[in-house]
Amino acid sequence: MKKVLHIVGARPNFMKVAPIHRAISERDALEQKLVHTGQHYDVKMSDVFFTDLGMPAPDIYLGVGSGSHAEQTAKVMLELEKVFASEKPDLVSVVGDVNSTLAAALVAVKMGIPIAHVEAGLRSFDPAMPEEINRVLTDRISNLLLTPSADADANLIREGLEPERIRLVGNVMIDSLLAAREKALRLSTLEDMGLNARGYAVCTLHRASNVDDAQVLTGLLSALGHVASRLPVVFPVHPRTRKRIAELGLGASLERTPGLRLVDPMGYLEFLALTSQARLVFTDSGGLQEETTVLGIPCLTVRENTERPITVDLGTNLVVGTDPVRIRQAADRILDGYEKKGRVPDLWDGRTGERIARLYEEFLGLGKAPRRATESRILSSTPGAEHHPV
């Protein structure tokens, strides 16, 4: 049997891999193993997601932990090289844009192992964003570029990547959301927190550009304080953000801000229960921009750009930047009843994992014949270094 190795490392990876892992397991045509780099290691940043998503524990855990970008990327590379040498995968599957994604792709390409990148083609066009570097480089060296929306295909073509490497498969993270939504709504999360449906806002902040810069972070927290003066705001605090709040001595004043509730990072189901019934989401997360679009909940993205423009063009997302005055105005407008309506993008339908599993089989020489002449070149070739596109 041909073998696929999935690489996960950080929180946003888990909900992307779970549906692919499940689909491969159901189809039973490929062997697969799950490798966790340990980039995220806290129970609340990692373990709880495996339970909530019904994903088996990782087959291999590398425990690389935190560090500078170079340290973290290098540690993942050193450990993965040993894993790839002993496991001899036929395909390495990576998702998203975290340091573990790029590290895995770099090791695989140099060992002549084909790579599939899920969530390929997203671009913020902001080179100061570490994730943008991870995206561009991972795409450049991946054999299969699996995209969530047509704008991503266009970005890849513009960069000169061969169309036969690109497949529009839809948004795999939405598979996890749709599969978990009912279960999440049965939880007593709102009741336990004394909240009413559509009567509160949810905030997440963790981007380095927002939380590492004292002035930006202070401005964002002041805008948040304004929102909290109008309705309760639940703010599950990412470890990076908690550290910065403590360093800047802002903890006590935030704890005293009326309406604002700082809580620990939440599990997948609990958080979905919260976001799916919120009046407003205030965030710098990439995934939440997509989730709120599917849930039909207004989202204010407190960043200067987004790599997910479809959530603005079709969905409920507004990119409002980091100026507190502008954020307050945008929040007031929504809370005064002027909500942006949206629709769900095509192929964000809960079946992306299945499409990806089928493509992996075809790529590895199993399954049906390719549909188009251009596809035959990539799908019928025996994967290996001599067929690598770079």
Catalytic residue annotation: 206
Q: How far is the CB of 320 from ligand UD1 (least distance, A)?
A: 19
Nearer to ligand UD1, 120 or 359 (CB): 120
Query: Which residue lies nearer to ligand UD1 by CB, 220 or 357?
Result: 220
Where along the sequence are the contacts to ligand UD1 (CB under 6 A)?
Answer: 10-12, 39-42, 45, 66, 97-99, 130-131, 206, 238-240, 243
Shortest reach from residue 116's CB to ligand UD1, in Å = 19
CB of residue 103 to ligand UD1, shortest distance in Å: 9
- Within a 13 Å sphere around the CA of 377, how many CA atoms are in the beta-carbon half? 11
CB of 84 to ligand UD1, least distance (A): 20
The residue among 47 and 349 lying less far from ligand UD1, judged by its C-beta, is 47
CB of 95 to ligand UD1, least distance (A): 12
Tokens representing 29 are: 């045509």
Among residues 109 and 205, whose Cβ is nearest to ligand UD1? 205
Of residues 21 and 207, the one with the C-beta less far from ligand UD1: 207
Full strand arrangement of the beta sheet holding 260-263 = 260-263, 233-236, 201-204, 280-283, 299-301, 317-319
- Which lies closer to ligand UD1 via its Cβ, residue 11 or residue 75? 11
User: SS3 sequence, the chain?
Assistant: CCEEEEEECCHHHHHHHHHHHHHHHHHCCCEEEEEECCCCCCCCCCHHHHHHCCCCCCCEECCCCCCCHHHHHHHHHHHHHHHHHHHCCCEEEEECCCHHHHHHHHHHHHCCCCEEEECCCCCCCCCCCHHHHHHHHHHHHCCEEEECCHHHHHHHHHCCCCHHHEEECCCHHHHHHHHHHHHHHCCCHHHHHCCCCCCCEEEECCCHHHHCCHHHHHHHHHHHHHHHHHCCEEEECCHHHHHHHHHCCCHHHHHHCCCEEEECCCCHHHHHHHHCCCCEEEECCHHHHHHHHHHCCCEEECCCCCCCCHHHHCCCEEECCCCHHHHHHHHHHHHCCCCCCCCCCCCCCCCHHHHHHHHHHHHCCCCCCCCCHHHHHHHCCCCCHHHCCC
Paired residues of 235 in beta bridges:
262
Question: What is the closest distance, in whole angstroms, from the C-beta atom of residue 385 to ligand UD1 in the complex?
Answer: 27
d(CA 7, CA 263) in angstroms, rounded, equals 29
Nearer to ligand UD1, 24 or 103 (CB): 103
Minimal distance in Å, beta carbon 224 to ligand UD1? 19
